[in-house]
Structure 1
């Protein structure tokens, strides 16, 4: 069968249009990007406050020491503290956890590892100590 140039042109255009339509359908049916934050506007407004809390940690040399053991994560503070720790799993947002903390006599707080999967976690520690507020972020590896 011999095809002339007009038939070849129509077949080529049909293949190209089919390709574009398939890409458009795939784009609309794909899941949203994990790197895009849903509440970016609210976080942008709160950035200045978070920045000052992080700078307060540096000014007062109040960065907590973190030790990861087999049974839990131990946070050691410079003074008595109370607050919360957000455990963020960057790979899966559904695994994120929030834990309330209060220090003991040695200024330590323990976070049990029950229900926490092995892997890399980001700890966002937000606490009050001696009338001041602090915010610190550190990454840990739970094994």
Structure 2
């Protein structure tokens, strides 16, 4: 084999590699890092920002502890709202729960069915007509 044949074989291998990558790219799912409703979330950004700032202004951030197989949320005052448990590694594991505090202003979320690892808690609640939003990272042992 002379150098021309080797050059042609090398070019064919490279072109085949590029074609295979292009086909795989066309068959792949949409990018998991891009939200499908990013435009709507962008419009609501100001509302979320104001609710986060309200938490800072009123010093109303809940205390989060993992105790006796539960996630315990201790609020400053009586609260009602939602908790989203977001798993960055796998979107299918995300959970959304409705919460309401007890007489001690606490909420207990059982860890049954929640996998171990890093979770982001997005807590959205109202207290005395004021809306709040808080996000915290939690490690489930």
Q: TM-score with structure 1 length normalisation?
A: 0.90
Look up the SS of the partner of 1:32 in the other structure: coil
Whether 2:49 is the aligned partner of 1:51: answer yes
Shift of the alpha carbon at 1:3? Answer: 2.8
Q: TM-score with structure 2 length normalisation?
A: 0.91
Shift of the alpha carbon at 1:31? Answer: 3.7
Please say which structure displays the higher CA radius of gyration. 1
RMSD between aligned residues: 1.6
CA shift digits 1:64-111 (9 cap, x unpaired) = 101112320111111111111001111111111111111111111111
Residue 68 of structure 1 is aligned with which of 57, 66, 69?
66
Aligned residues: 141
**Whole-angstrom distance in 2 between the partners of 1:140 and 1:15:** 48
Unaligned runs of 5+ in 2: none
**Whole-angstrom distance in 2 between the partners of 1:66 and 1:27:** 42
Which region of structure 1 is more displaced relative to structure 2, 18-27 or 49-58? 18-27
**Whole-angstrom distance in 1 between the partners of 2:11 and 2:91:** 43
Unaligned runs of 5+ in 1: none
Shift of the alpha carbon at 1:113? Answer: 1.1
Check 1:4–1:110 CA distance in 2 against 1; reply closer, same or farther (3 A cut): closer
